[in-house]
Amino acid sequence: MPALTATNANCLEGLACPSCRAEDAFDITVETIAGLTDLGVDHTRDIEWTQTSLITCCSCQRKGTVEQFTVEVEDVLITDEEIENLIEQAGFGIIHWAESAIVDFDEHTYRVVESDDEFTDNDEPADETLTYAQLRRAFNDLRRSDQLPDFMLREIAHGDIRFDSEIGDRIVQQAMFGEHKYS
């Protein structure tokens, strides 16, 4: 059973599977310099990957980009399934300030359009396509600043997480605005 928080501290620091939380082994499409002779590859060096490199979890075969697998050390690892539960609940919470919200289950994104009914100052309505990785970061930002109720972490640990609409709304607002803009 993978740990609930990110623990890698060496070569795989900041990487964890967003489906099963595994952190121990990945296949990554890398760029490298291969020293070749007529007999074949003699050696390789300078192995590199970027945020857009393709990665596969060796435990559950989930594929994606390195960006989608990126976490911060000590972050609670919220899975894609939990993020989708969060988005579903957030839909009921953000309704008082958002115009629309669309989930893309393949791209793992959540597009939220702020309603122009809620205009303050003279700013344009925000139209943000949030990645699941951004929602995870927002969850952890709120957790680190003690803005999430204790029971959330207990529920994650027991694998029966149920975000309510208010918490979902808070996390989406944190991801979009970096603050609690509408209460």
Closest CA to 75 of 13, 120, 30: 13
Sole residue written with tokens 């050696």: 43
Select from 12-20, 35-43, 73-81, 125-133 the region that touches Zn ion (CB under 5 A).
12-20
Residue whose CB is less far from Zn ion, 62 or 108: 62
Minimum distance, C-beta of residue 22 to Zn ion, in the bound complex (Å) = 5
As a whole number of angstroms, the distance between CA 150 and CA 127 comes to 31
Going through 18-120 in order, the beta strands assigned E by DSSP cover 26-28, 31-37, 40-48, 54-57, 63-65, 98-104, 109-114
Q: At 8, is the secondary structure helix, strand, or coil?
A: coil
Q: Is 62 in the site for Zn ion (CB under 5 A)?
A: yes
Q: Is 53 in the site for Zn ion (CB under 5 A)?
A: no
Q: Is 19 in the site for Zn ion (CB under 5 A)?
A: yes
CB 111 within 8 A of CB 49: no
CA 21 to chain centre: 12
Minimum distance, C-beta of residue 60 to Zn ion, in the bound complex (Å) = 3
DSSP 183: -
Q: Is 57 in the site for Zn ion (CB under 5 A)?
A: yes
Residue whose CB is less far from Zn ion, 3 or 102: 3
Extract the tokens encoding 78. 């919220």
Distances (CA, A) of 177 to 21, 120, 182: 27, 14, 10
Q: Is 56 in the site for Zn ion (CB under 5 A)?
A: no
Residue whose CB is less far from Zn ion, 25 or 34: 25
Residues 102-141 that bind Zn ion (CB under 5 A): none
Residue whose CB is less far from Zn ion, 62 or 170: 62
Select from 53-61, 100-108, 109-117, 151-159 the region that touches Zn ion (CB under 5 A).
53-61
Interface residue with Zn ion among 33, 41, 47, 60 (CB under 5 A) is: 60
**Where does residue 164 rank: exposed (0-12), middle (13-18), buried (19+ CB within 10 A)?**
middle
Residue whose CB is less far from Zn ion, 19 or 173: 19
What residue ranges bind Zn ion (CB under 5 A)? 17, 19-20, 22, 57, 59-60, 62
